[in-house]
Amino acid sequence: MLVIGSDHGGFLLKQEIKKHLEENKIEYIDVGCYDESSVDYPDIAKAACDKIVSGECQLGILICGTGIGISMAANKVKGIRADCFSAKYTRLHNDANVLCFGGRVVGPGLACMMVDEFLNAQFEGGRHQRRVDKISSLEENFGK
């Protein structure tokens, strides 16, 4: 299951991505926001990351105005690897579990292509596993 969330800055792009997911019969849970009223992106990041940490969802898409704040917030959660730059290699090499967008940065066409790349790519493991394990070890050692 996929979780998707946005603040007000990402709301319109989220609506486009949800339409794309529905057209492709990809199920998702939307943790908000549900209109363009102002909300705080860390609250949305927490709601989405809770779904991944609990195991209810495996991957997430988070959107704010720039993609920066919501990815920073998501990356504070233990076990979350969020990226707002790459879609395919972040899965292949970094086992990212959250893809972030800036609703004021990227258009819906590119965003939906990136969503497809993200959802279709599989973590390659091997030497990359060792490095992802070291990310997890940083989480342990720095008390996240």
- Positions annotated as catalytic residues are 64, 93
Q: How far is the CB of 91 from ligand RB5 (least distance, A)?
A: 23
The total of other beta-carbon atoms located within 10 Å of residue 110's CB is 12
Residues 53-92 within binding reach of ligand RB5 (CB under 6 A): 64-66, 68-69
Least distance to ligand RB5 from the beta carbon of 51, Å? 20
Which pair of tokens denotes residue 35? Answer: 């209109």
Angle at 78 between CA 112 and CA 98, to 5 degrees: 5
Report the interhelical angle of 108-120 vs 11-23 (nearest 10°). Answer: 50
Tell me the number of residues near ligand RB5 by CB under 6 A: 8
- Binding of ligand RB5 by 97 (CB under 6 A): no
Site string for ligand RB5, 36-55 (x = CB under 6 A): -----x--------------
Q: Which of helix, strand or coil describes residue 100?
A: strand
Query: Whole-number minimum distance, CB 99 to ligand RB5, in Å?
Result: 15
Contact 4, 30 (CB under 8 A): yes
Query: Rounded distance, CA 67 to CA 85, Å?
Result: 9
Minimum CB separation from ligand RB5 for residue 43, in Å?
12
**Which of the 8 DSSP states describes residue 9?**
G
Determine which residue in the list 5, 9, 98, 111 makes contact with ligand RB5, applying CB under 6 A.
Answer: 9
| Site residues (vs ligand RB5, CB under 6 A) | 7, 9, 41, 64-66, 68-69
